[in-house]
Amino acid sequence: MAWHSMKVRNCTLETDNVIPEEYLDPITMNIMVEPVVLLQTGMTYDLHSIMEWFERGHDTCPLTNVRLTDLVAERDQCLKSEIQRWQERHGLGAEPQGPEGPQVYRFRQNMYGKRPGEPERFRHEWEVEYAHERISQLLGRRTALQMTLRQAQDGRWLCPLDCSSDLSVPLASTTVYIAGRFSDFGSSGAQTLSKLMQPRPNPDGSLAFNRAVTSLQLLWSKIGPEGASAIASALRPQLEPGGGWTWNRHLTALHLGRNHIGDAGAQALASVLAPRQDPSGTWVFCTDLADLDLIHNDIGPEGAQALAQALEPRQNADGSWVFPPLARLNLHGNPAMGKQGLLSLLESLLRPRQQGGGWVFNPNLRKIYLDGFALDDEVASEAAAALSLKHGASSDESGNRALRLLDLSTTSETSQNQLLLILSRMRMRRKFGKTLADARQVLHSFRYRKDLFRMVRLKLRF
């Protein structure tokens, strides 16, 4: 059995239990006391070690060596709680906890929170011009024009389609569709594309976002985890000088199917989807994405759990719940997520929450597509329980009135029994407003090349 040496309460203890790698600070290799996540790269460090790193004059992420333009980190309360529970289980005393720190730590002034100087302004101009020319070569000048912010005479950044100085005037929606460019696009193309999606600082310190592109569909182009991380970086919420958050409120659909982004890419996207707290302590999901499609992307249990944690609703101090804005989530074709990944996603997205003696359900999610390859009794029970009616303190029945489609598919003969189990348990419940028999519930069986391949799909339509 492996032996590890770890530092707790400033002394070295030895234990015959393997310390989970994600509990260790990458800089000091000690168990983290206050884990924080760098918003620009999504990497996690202990607060004190990353603070010392910046105080020594570094402006890069220690793990990725990416130069940081935004030295802001967010406290990871979920990971902190996991570390404390692990220490308690193994009889390891943790540091005494002082007063709760802020949700967001700002190590230096964010460059987007102040007026850009001449060198910074020229850097943005050069970066946009270079990305525009590169995207013009890859995708054509029309697509590049739609995605490129241009500076007006007063120095403000505007979309090419802006015909009014009033930024509240909506623009015609634009869909950028890229598919099958696995030979000449790849991660470098995605990184260049992300530069056109990044917000740019106006002379007054405000941020300019691309208001034209509402749907980005980048499919089957081998962008990999690096390309997905670059796109996530362009969509990351930005901290305002007053402590509030601002983000791209115009992009509502992101499709990155068949790009092999893996767990690393899914974790980068999860860091964008995760909610933040505003100065009043209220939780806010800083994204307007309503449609996220990540089919066939080699996402494993770590990536699935990162997405589940990011999309989990948060409860405010007044007892109210805040849910993510996603209306459609497609993770089909990622069987490596496994049982734990399925459980985490079903629990985060569908499980009802208690509020004021009653139950509240996700009011936004309409369609969800998942692989059922890891279906067993536990997963089937979780799915059936999440979709069943609940009784509140007043004995009134309540249920999920938003969900329209739950799509589970599998080729496993044993998993097909669990699909039938969900159906049987659902038939025992009355659907609000009408009986369940009136709802369309179909167990589809598709056969390709006779019996060579058999796909069984459970579609629950309400």
Instruction: Read off the CATH number of the domain in which 316 is found.
Output: 3.80.10
The predicted structure's pLDDT at residue 102 = 64
pLDDT of residue 418 exceeding 70: no
With 80 as the cut, is the pLDDT of residue 166 above it? no
Residue ending a domain, among 108, 130, 147, is 108
Q: Which residues contact 84 (CB under 8 A, 6 or more apart)?
A: 94
Give me 114's structure tokens: 């102040």
Does an H or E element contain 373, and which? none
* Mean per-residue pLDDT, 95-115: 56
Give the lowest-confidence range in 33-42, 56-65, 74-83, 403-412: 403-412
Tell me if 253 sits within 8 A of 216, measured CB to CB.
yes
Strands 245-246 and 238-239, bridge-based pairing: antiparallel
pLDDT above 60 for 409? yes
User: Given this model, what pLDDT does residue 110 score?
Assistant: 42
- Beta strand spans in 159-297 (E): 174-179, 200-201, 207-208, 213-219, 238-239, 245-246, 253-255, 276-277, 283-284, 291-293
pLDDT tier at 376 (50, 70, 90 boundaries)? confident
Res 169 pLDDT > 80:
no
**Cβ atoms of residues 67 and 104 within 8 Å:** no
Q: Which residues of 184-198 are buried (b: 16+ CB within 10 A; e: fewer)?
A: ebbbebbbbbbbbbb
What was the pLDDT predicted at 9? Answer: 36
**pTM for the complete prediction?**
0.73
Q: What CATH number should be reported for the domain holding residue 38?
A: 3.30.40.10
> 410 in a domain, yes or no?
yes
Whether residue 4 has pLDDT greater than 50: no
Q: How confident is the model at residue 447 (pLDDT cuts 50, 70, 90)?
A: very low
Taking CA atoms, 98 is separated from 29, 72, 81, 91, 101, in Å, by 22, 22, 15, 20, 8
State the DSSP H helix or E strand holding residue 138, giving kind and residue range, or none if neither.
helix 118-139
d(CA 57, CA 80): 27
Question: Comparing 354 with 374, which gets the higher pLDDT?
Answer: 354
- Let me know if residue 11 belongs to a domain: yes
Residues in the chain: 462
The reported pLDDT for the residue numbered 189 is: 92
CA atoms within 13 A on the CB side of 160: 12
Residue 162 lies in a domain: no
Question: What Cα–Cα distance (Å) separates residue 383 from each residue in 300, 350, 376?
Answer: 20, 8, 11
Distance CA(379)–CA(306), nearest Å, equals 18
Quote the pLDDT of residue 373: 76
301-311 and 338-350 helices, crossing angle to 10°: 10
Structural domain includes residue 226: no
Split at pLDDT 50, 70, 90, the class of 393 is low
* Residue 65 forms part of a structural domain: yes
| Distance in angstroms (rounded) separating the CA atoms of residues 304 and 225 | 14
> Is 137 domain-assigned?
no
Residue 193 belongs to a domain: no
- Spatial CA neighbour of 201 closest among 105, 69, 58: 69
8 Å CB contact between 348 and 310: no
Question: 414 or 311: which carries more pLDDT confidence?
Answer: 311
Answer whether residue 399 shows pLDDT above 70.
yes
Among 89, 108, 127, which residue terminates a domain? Answer: 108
Split at pLDDT 50, 70, 90, the class of 11 is very low
Count of the separate structural domains present in the chain:
2
pLDDT at 454 over 50: no
- Give the pLDDT confidence of 322-353 residue by residue, as tens digits: 999 999 999 999 999 999 999 999 999 999 99
Query: Over the stretch 110-138, which tens digit does the pLDDT of each residue have?
Result: 444 455 566 777 778 888 888 889 888 88
Q: Which domain holds residue 290?
A: 261-461
Instruction: Give me the chain's average pLDDT, please.
Output: 78
Indicate whether 192 belongs to any domain: no
Between the ranges 137-141, 295-299, 388-392, where is the mean pLDDT highest?
A: 295-299
* Mean pLDDT on 12-16: 43
Please list the residues that pair with 246 across neighbouring strands: 238
Boundary (domain end) residue, out of 108, 126, 151: 108
